[in-house]
Structure 1
Amino acid sequence: MDLEEIYQTAREKMEGYCRVCSVCDGRACKGEVPGMGGAGTGSSFQANLAAWQDYKLQLRTLHQADDPDTSVTILGEKLTTPILKAPVTGSQYNMGGALSEEEYTKVVVEGSQEFGTIAMTGDSGDPTVYDVGVDAIQACDGFGIPIIKPREQDEIKKRIKMAEEVGSKAVGIDVDGAGLITMALKNQPVGPKSKEELEELVASTELPLILKGIMTADEARLAVDAGVEMIVVSNHGGRVLDSTPGTAEVLPEIAAEVGDEATILVDGGIRAGVDVLKALALGADAVLVARPLIIAAFGGGKEGFKLLLDNLTTELKKAMILTGCNSVDEISSDILRKY
């Protein structure tokens, strides 16, 4: 099995939902929500990719970083790679249904654990989808992180309790899902959260609380002041609001504001190991990857999923060698040029 075989199989299995383009940039699937596209014109999806390309890497070879260490510690766990699986659900209505929700979720949670990283599972307009993620995490002895849509407070607390019961590493809320079309279509109310509501949720659990969907420094500050331990810089893959900036544009100012107080993850348009390196150099502690890993799961099952994780991590390691970074901790903005 190689990546080209995986992509070809995925094209067949995801026909009508994802074209598995040679460059996954959101142009062919703009406005296809449900589906794999971005909202409206697709400009937010496209901005995510373009923002990473605004940064170039400083090539350096006069050093001794010949075997870099790609491991990171997240939530007290040493991971082999700073690449985590982003929370995406909807196998049937977003991805075509060639894998059931249970099959897809099992692939990404087990595959992540076997590779030495963590998968985030998601929530959906179909309430049973969250249960599927929690069940998969339980089967992996709690090695996973369920992410909850910004539902009403009591509904979130119920789902936090489920995460606690299976011993998950943390629990999160993707507040960028406040305007999701797929939730509205299923009559599942979601909406924004106030600082007081965040404080209430933080106080309701001993698990670290993650907030996904932060795109401004002021909201990063608000989240951290409310007790959130980890934030994810994300515009929901460009799927909820047209005309947002790319995540790489806003990451540096968010990292400058709260980087010493919270763990920062970022997603959106990360397609190669060099993108991971740029994200770490801009202040992220790790990254989330979604669409490429979904395609790998559909095209190659668990082995295809792990193969792509390995490919991305190998690309990252090579880029670290050629920029003089011996470990993730050594990566800094000094390796970047912006155009």
Structure 2
Amino acid sequence: MQEIRKSAKEKMKGYCRVCPVCNGKACAGEVPGMGGLGTGSAFVANMEALDAMRFNMKLVHNVKEPVTETEFLGLSLSMPLMAAPIGGVSFNMGGGVSEEDYIDAIVSGCKAKGLIGCTGDGVPPVIHEAGYAAIKKAGGHGIGFIKPWEEKEFFEKLEKAEATGASVFGVDIDAAGLVTLAKMGRPVTPMTVDDLSKVIKSTSMKFILKGVMTVHDALCAKEAGADAIVVSNHGGRVLDSTPGTAEVLPEIAEAVGGEMTILVDGGIRSGGDILKMLALGAHGVMIGRPFSIAAVGGLQQGVETYIETLHTQLVQAMVLTGTDNVNRVESGILR
């Protein structure tokens, strides 16, 4: 990982410093770029909320080989993790690798390690085109996310998503305030329950709504018929001064966790962080920026190496907290 991060730092110069700890402080306000919007407090809040959770170590037990495999949305995963949808290598990451090579590394690397890579969407057509091509190449093994565009463009992209062979797609409704899209003359907007219901009923694919930060929106997603939600503030890139995702996750999980799949992103940097989010009520997590660094720095091998690192850390955290299975993580492992 040291060599991969060194390579990424050279290729992402001026866009991402590849800090020893990716906490949003050095890149505050750098949008476009990899930072958080405005003061960057929402990005930092994700980190601080998760860091505030401490593990209770537990070593008198017989957990030696914990189970990390899980299944949700009809997908079998080697651990409860997906690569979050991120696109725009040229204007967010320095263009050190092509959009096609980048997203292929994400999707193929995840598939090779028994995980799912998600693909992004944006104004340059190459973002969604490269993403869908990578998913199709992987035999439908990926999840494409579509931004909440106007109806005509949205449903055209949904048809393209269906053509990849994927069984799941998502909408990152938290992109509704992206400054970068507005500056390009292509603003995206919020969606109503009826809007979401229309989308869900128009396809046989399972549906994920990304960008849920309140119980209200979680209940709306449930009402619309969503199969899953992602508790997310878009990495702190759309609204300053939001709470960290780890702060709001427990109340959202309590409200709808028994009726739909709950995923979460924001500030997750290690296998221990994955376990923390599971203890707070998530069924799985998404990781964004660190996957981008791994892909830019080492392409598919970089992605696979990062996944191996996370798996080792997750197993270690499970053993040291007496957790035998990722599908039954107790909240009591956190202090």
Is the TM value for this pair above 0.5? yes
The offset of 1:313, in angstroms, is: 1.2
Aligned to 1:286: 284
Q: Across the two proteins, how many residue pairs are aligned to each other?
A: 335
Partner SS, residue 327 of structure 2: helix
1:217 aligns with 2:180: no
Aligned partner of 2:56 among 55, 58, 62: 58
Structure 1: give runs of 5+ residues left out of the alignment. Answer: none
The offset of 1:169, in angstroms, is: 2.3
Which amino acid counterpart does residue 212 of structure 2 have in structure 1? I
Aligned to 2:178: 180
Partner SS, residue 230 of structure 2: strand
Q: Please identify, of 71-80 and 89-98, the stretch whose mean Cα deviation from structure 2 is larger.
A: 71-80
The offset of 1:97, in angstroms, is: 0.3
1:150 aligns with 2:155: no
Aligned to 1:83: 81
Aligned to 1:312: 310
The offset of 1:7, in angstroms, is: 1.1
Aligned partner of 2:99 among 98, 101, 104: 101
State the alpha-carbon separation in 1 of the partners of residues 297 and 205 from structure 2. 34
Structure 2: give runs of 5+ residues left out of the alignment. Answer: none
Aligned to 1:42: 40
State the alpha-carbon separation in 2 of the partners of residues 17 and 206 from structure 1. 39
State the alpha-carbon separation in 2 of the partners of residues 314 and 143 from structure 1. 24
Preserved contact between residue 157 and residue 204 of structure 1 (Cα < 8 Å): no
Which amino acid counterpart does residue 192 of structure 2 have in structure 1? S
Residue deviations 1:152-196 (CA, integer Å, cap 9, x gap): 123221111111112112111000000111111222231000111
Aligned partner of 2:168 among 166, 170, 188: 170
State the alpha-carbon separation in 2 of the partners of residues 74 and 183 from structure 1. 32
Aligned to 2:225: 227
Percent identity for Structure 1 against Structure 2: 49
Aligned to 1:297: 295
Which amino acid counterpart does residue 96 of structure 1 have in structure 2? G
Q: Please identify, of 210-219 and 128-137, the stretch whose mean Cα deviation from structure 2 is larger.
A: 128-137
State the alpha-carbon separation in 2 of the partners of residues 160 and 298 from structure 1. 27
Aligned partner of 2:4 among 6, 22, 32: 6
Q: TM-score, normalised by structure 2?
A: 0.98
State the alpha-carbon separation in 2 of the partners of residues 137 and 301 from structure 1. 16
Aligned to 1:111: 109
Partner SS, residue 330 of structure 1: coil
The offset of 1:282, in angstroms, is: 0.6
State the alpha-carbon separation in 2 of the partners of residues 189 and 13 from structure 1. 29
The offset of 1:64, in angstroms, is: 1.1
Partner SS, residue 321 of structure 2: coil
The offset of 1:330, in angstroms, is: 2.3
Partner SS, residue 49 of structure 2: helix
Aligned to 2:72: 74
The offset of 1:293, in angstroms, is: 1.1
State the alpha-carbon separation in 1 of the partners of residues 72 and 257 from structure 2. 14
Residue deviations 1:201-236 (CA, integer Å, cap 9, x gap): 111111011100000011100111110101000000
Aligned to 2:332: 334
Residue deviations 1:25-45 (CA, integer Å, cap 9, x gap): 111101000000000000000
The offset of 1:74, in angstroms, is: 2.4
Aligned to 1:200: 198
The offset of 1:82, in angstroms, is: 1.1
Residue deviations 1:90-134 (CA, integer Å, cap 9, x gap): 100000001110010110000000010001101012133111111
Partner SS, residue 35 of structure 2: coil
State the alpha-carbon separation in 1 of the partners of residues 199 and 299 from structure 2. 36
Partner SS, residue 155 of structure 2: helix
Aligned partner of 2:270 among 272, 281, 284: 272
Aligned partner of 2:250 among 249, 252, 268: 252
State the alpha-carbon separation in 1 of the partners of residues 167 and 325 from structure 2. 24
State the alpha-carbon separation in 2 of the partners of residues 5 and 187 from structure 1. 39
Preserved contact between residue 276 and residue 287 of structure 1 (Cα < 8 Å): yes
Preserved contact between residue 153 and residue 197 of structure 1 (Cα < 8 Å): no
Residue deviations 1:240-276 (CA, integer Å, cap 9, x gap): 1000000000000000000011101100000111110
The offset of 1:77, in angstroms, is: 2.1
Partner SS, residue 190 of structure 2: coil
